Amino acid sequence: MQDIQHYIQENKDKFLTELLDLLRIPSVSADSKFKADVRKAAEFICEKLKTAGADSAEICETAGFPIVYGEKIIDAALPTILVYGHYDVQPADPYELWNSPPFEPVVKEEKIYARGSCDDKGQVYMHLKAFEAMMATNTLPCNVKFMIEGEEEVGSDNLGTFVKSNKEKLQADVILISDTAIIANDIPSIDVGLRGLSYMEVEVTGANRDLHSGVYGGAVANPINVLSKMIASLHDENNHISIPAFYDDVVELSGEEREAMAKTPFNLEEYKKDLDIDEVRGEKGYSTIERASIRPTLDVNGIWGGYIGEGAKTVLPSKAFAKISMRLVPDQQSDKITELFTKHFESIAPEGVKVKVRAHHGGEPYVTPTDSIAYLAAEKAMEESFGKKPVPTRGGGSIPIVALFEKELGLKTVLMGFGLDTDAIHSPNEHFGLFNFYKGIETIPLFFKYFSEESSK
């Protein structure tokens, strides 16, 4: 592997310059204002796949944003790795909290600051450059397929259809994704779990119009007061979610599994310090690591209604709204939880208001087996590049499409991510360490090598 590591060293600056170009494209999938830019990012990825040496790369149209598909088949008898990632990014709002503009990337203190630098353009780009390096040094040991989508941040609505109608094309032996984090740069880890998701929106309506809060206040239900109370009732005093049957399908970890988890390196003091909080808060009886990985959650993501302009306006609003997400764990099912939430939320509405509940996207949880060839290959690859064996960890985020890959393609996924939890993904000042970017590029070819070697045994 001497050659390839040499190639990577020689091309470091070029890799970075190209990534910064990609980061300049504001490919925000949630906001229609950026529609043309999302497509531009797809074209950029497609072009780079071609120049890196793919046999073919194409922009596959969907009902939404396109999927970039590319492949290099060196021998049908060899194993095939399917790389998945996303080129779309979260909205950059609120812009005023960024220290430098989100789509004008800067490198500061060894970190790349830009929306998407870590989630997931920076990590997708590691794969493209690792592929380029393997091609340039004639060391690609197996077949590779790339499927890079543009709707991950908005629920991957059209990827399911694409997968279902392209099963032949997507045939592979394993799926490899870099869209998660390691514990620290000197504590490599591999995410072996993702949480599922049910995302809801609720609307509470009181009177048919906004009212004078002096003339009507106290006599008519205030939808914001009511909604606040309804939301507050969704957790009990132990921070347990109070929706009936919510926990019915939750798999409880064994004492042994929890003990193993408690050994995962984690510094509570540093965690609190990083977030500038004096205490953590969550479900009674579980550690912070457990609360953020193997336990389900319910959180308000946004809440609005009434007057929020400058000064004071005395008004009793007609409506109040909230967006609520629930993170799910095995064996909870998104559809079932969505239904439980809907029924419960409607049932707790007091007289005097009308409640509407609407479901946004959802997704199922996923757990990666740690005894597969692919997991062992990732472990060996990271051990070699970091000089330390990676620890398996359960992650708290969601990549809903992973469970669907298993269902539709019968493929397991390895989540070999290189970000850090502190990279501020989805947040102002998102960044990605240069160390992490280059470490990813170095590690991916090792995964290819060990996966191919182990598969042929």
Residues 6+ apart with CB under 8 A from 17: none
Q: Work out what residue 361 binds among Mn ion, ligand BES, none; the CB cut-off runs from 5 to 8 Å by kind.
A: ligand BES
Using the rule CB under 5 A, which residue among 18, 88, 119, 191 binds Mn ion? 119
The piece of 105-113, 137-145, 149-157, 167-175 that touches ligand BES (CB under 6 A) is: 149-157
Indicate the DSSP class of residue 254: P
Does position 430 interact with Mn ion (CB under 5 A)? The reply is: no
Rule CB under 5 A: say whether 88 interacts with Mn ion. Answer: no
Contact at 8 Å (CB) between 121 and 87? Answer: yes
The distance of closest approach from Cβ of residue 321 to Mn ion in the complex, given in angstroms and rounded to an integer, is 23
Q: Count residues contacting ligand BES (CB under 6 A)?
A: 18
Contact call for residue 179 and Mn ion (CB under 5 A): yes
The entry of ligand BES, Mn ion, none that residue 158 binds, CB within 5 to 8 Å by partner kind:
none
| 361 contacts 199 by C-beta, under 8 angstroms | yes
CB of 433 to Mn ion, least distance (A): 16
Q: Which range binds Mn ion by CB under 5 A, 176-184, 194-202, 237-245, 361-369?
A: 176-184
Q: Alpha-carbon distance 273 to 279, whole Å?
A: 10
CB atoms within 10 A of CB 256: 8
Binders of ligand BES in range 250-309 (CB under 6 A): none
Q: Which residues pair with 316 in a beta bridge?
A: 211
Q: Is 368 in the site for ligand BES (CB under 6 A)?
A: no
223 binds, among ligand BES, Mn ion, none (CB under 5 to 8 A by kind): none
Coil, strand or helix at 125: helix
Instruction: Specify the residue, 153 or 173, whose C-beta has the smaller distance to Mn ion.
Output: 153
- Report how far residue 205's alpha carbon sits from residue 401's, in angstroms, rounded to the nearest whole number: 35
Among ligand BES, Mn ion, none, what does residue 181 contact (CB within 5–8 Å per kind)? ligand BES
Contacts of 174 (CB under 8 A, 6+ apart): 79, 81, 82, 372, 373, 374, 411, 412, 413, 414, 451
Cis peptide leading into 120, omega within 30 of 0? Answer: yes
Neighbours of 323 (CB within 10 A): 16
398 is a contact residue toward ligand BES (CB under 6 A): yes
Residue of 149, 151, 153, 173 that binds ligand BES (CB under 6 A): 153
* Kind and range of the H or E run holding 303: strand 297-305
Residues 6 or more apart whose Cβ sits within 8 Å of residue 347? none
Binders of ligand BES in range 170-189 (CB under 6 A): 179-181
Q: Tokens 């967006």 label which residue?
A: 323
Query: Per the structure block, which two tokens stand in for 262?
Result: 């408690």
User: Residue 90 CB, nearest distance to Mn ion (Å)?
Assistant: 6
Site for ligand BES in 104-133 (CB under 6 A): 119-120
Which range of residues in 166-174, 364-372, 398-406, 447-455 is near ligand BES by CB under 6 A? 398-406
Residue 350 CA to residue 445 CA, distance in Å, equals 59
**Residues within the interface to ligand BES (CB under 6 A):** 119-120, 152-153, 155, 179-181, 191, 194, 197, 361, 363, 395, 397-400
By CB under 5 A, name the binding residues for Mn ion.
119-120, 179
